[in-house]
Amino acid sequence: MSDWDELEALRIARTGQRIEDLFAAQADRATAFSASTQDLRLDYSKTLIDDAVRAALIGLCERTDLASRRDSMFSGAPINQTEGRAVLHTALRNLDGGPVEVDGQDVMPDVLQTLQRMRRFCDDVRSGVICGSGGTISDVVNIGIGGSDLGPAMAVRALAPYHDGPRCHFVSNVDAADIADCLRRLDPGRTLVIVASKTFTTIETMTNARTARAWMSMGGGDPLRQFAAVSTASDKTADFGIPPEQVFGFADWVGGRYSVWGPVGLALMLAIGPQAFDAFLRGGQAMDLHFQSAEWGENLPVLLALVGLWHHQVCGHATRAVLPYDQRLARLPAYLQQLEMESNGKRVAMDGAALNIASGPVVWGEPGTNGQHAFYQLIHQGTEIVPCEFLIAAQGHEPDLAHHHRLLIANCLAQSEALMRGRSLDQARAGLSGSGMQGEELERQARHRVFPGNRPSVTLIYPQLTPFMLGQIIALYEHRVFVEGVILGINSFDQWGVELGKEMATSLGPVVDGSQSAAGRNGSTMALVEFAHRHGAAD
């Protein structure tokens, strides 16, 4: 019997079992099915995972040689086998660790030197040493896409209470509305633009960058002083007119969706300052150390991954909802959507053979409590089970409004309990007993008020969302994705699925602008291009 067959048998054997019954049978279940590190607590007790299921899931770690794969990643081995690259975003936050070698060369001196250059640059911008034609920099516009946008945009918003630098804005969409809406409210003489593109050829990013440069020039700004780049293409950044001292590169062993820890995080460092950025890095480093040292049954990234595998690959739940009860984490679901779905949305194993098991789930979500008045209806009473991941801090950053946060916590905990407990038909009938309804009408109305319950969730709880804590949370999810990928036998660090659409968009550009015929395209594309031309696309 394979590992997956064993887990399937365990699932079938638990058909009809309720999560509440597990609590009744084990007084210390909440403790036994939780794990902590650095004041970050993961509670996965509100799932149907029991001792036998957990043991079988942990067995996956042993039989896929997770420890060896983990060590290979941290040591700089080329575990991204389809591209022949190391995977070393962890080196960007290795502030206290020793050497990390890639092809026999220690990469840490370059990492630390780049970090020091970022600190100096940010200090100079924040203090006014580097300024615009109109004075001290008041606003920063980060132009990127994918990992060059989602990570810093999410983190800047998350750490708003720590902002003491220029305001940060993010432009990613090639839709003109994105950059137009951003720039129209800014002063060209006091704006710094960061162009984040490793190759400096990403079509969406470079289109927006050229538009920003023209806006700045026409508005009296100085593009020579007021542009910085996050790129390894020093020749192209020079051609664009960006001084070399304002260009920050990173190696090809840092994937875009894992890159917020280095130069891609430049906007974050400008917003919160080098000291708070260092705390962010140290939070990620703390999770790295935990991931490397904790036993599987106490290892937060491993446990979070195993819970996800149980729910998706074994139980067949197609999606996962990430529900941060923190308005400042509004972009976290989108960030994790890319992290998980770009990493583990694969159909073949490392050896190129077709997977014989489902790969990654659909990841989605919104902050609570907004979601409670939107899609929670489906989560509670829909026909599909959606495992939920709640995130909540014990305290917020607004002490004068502490009653808001207490209500927020109450809502978060109530939702996970309601998903687990539900409401039976008898309870629904009892609730309507004083309404005056009776007979068939009471029965009909009661059925609308039944909640099946037994819907699984996990909760991450922590004292407060600080730079250190955010670093821990992001690194936790990064390692969770890695663990899932190892167990599924896939490469979590390439993204060939992103490339095909980009290639086809490039070839369709001349067709859309009218300089090339659409002949030979499929009928649908030809008809859609014709419609776009008829309504002004080629004007």
Active site residues: 342, 373, 502
Cβ–Cβ < 8 Å for 335, 349: no
For helices 51-63 and 3-13, give the axis angle rounded to 10 degrees: 170
Token pair listed for 264: 């891609």
Cross-strand partners of 497: none
Cβ–Cβ < 8 Å for 364, 322: yes
Token pair listed for 432: 């309507």
Q: What is the DSSP string of 144-178?
A: --THHHHHHHHHHHHTGGG--S-EEEEE--SSHHH
Cβ–Cβ < 8 Å for 216, 140: no
Residues 466 and 143: their CA atoms lie apart, in Å, by 25
Residues 107 and 88: their CA atoms lie apart, in Å, by 10
Note every long-range contact of 91-98, with CB atoms under 8 Å and residues 24 or more positions apart, other chains counting: 91/253, 92/250, 92/254, 92/259, 92/261, 92/262, 92/281, 93/261, 93/281, 93/282, 93/284, 93/285, 93/288, 93/471, 93/475, 94/285, 94/288, 95/278, 95/281, 95/282, 95/285, 96/285, 97/285
Strands (E), 240-340: 247-248, 319-324
Token pair listed for 398: 């607004």
The burial class, CB within 10 Å (0-12 / 13-18 / 19+), for 216 is buried
User: Which residue has 């001196």 as its token pair?
Assistant: 109
Residues 508 and 413: their CA atoms lie apart, in Å, by 50
Strands (E), 432-527: 457-462
Instruction: Look at residues 89, 112, 114 and name the one whose alpha carbon lies nearest to residue 232.
Output: 114
Q: What is the DSSP string of 366-426?
A: --TTGGGGTTHHHHHHSSS---EEEEEESS-S-GGGHHHHHHHHHHHHHHHHHHHH-B-HH
Residues 418 and 420: their CA atoms lie apart, in Å, by 5
Rg of the chain over CA atoms, in angstroms? Answer: 25
Residues 72 and 208: their CA atoms lie apart, in Å, by 38
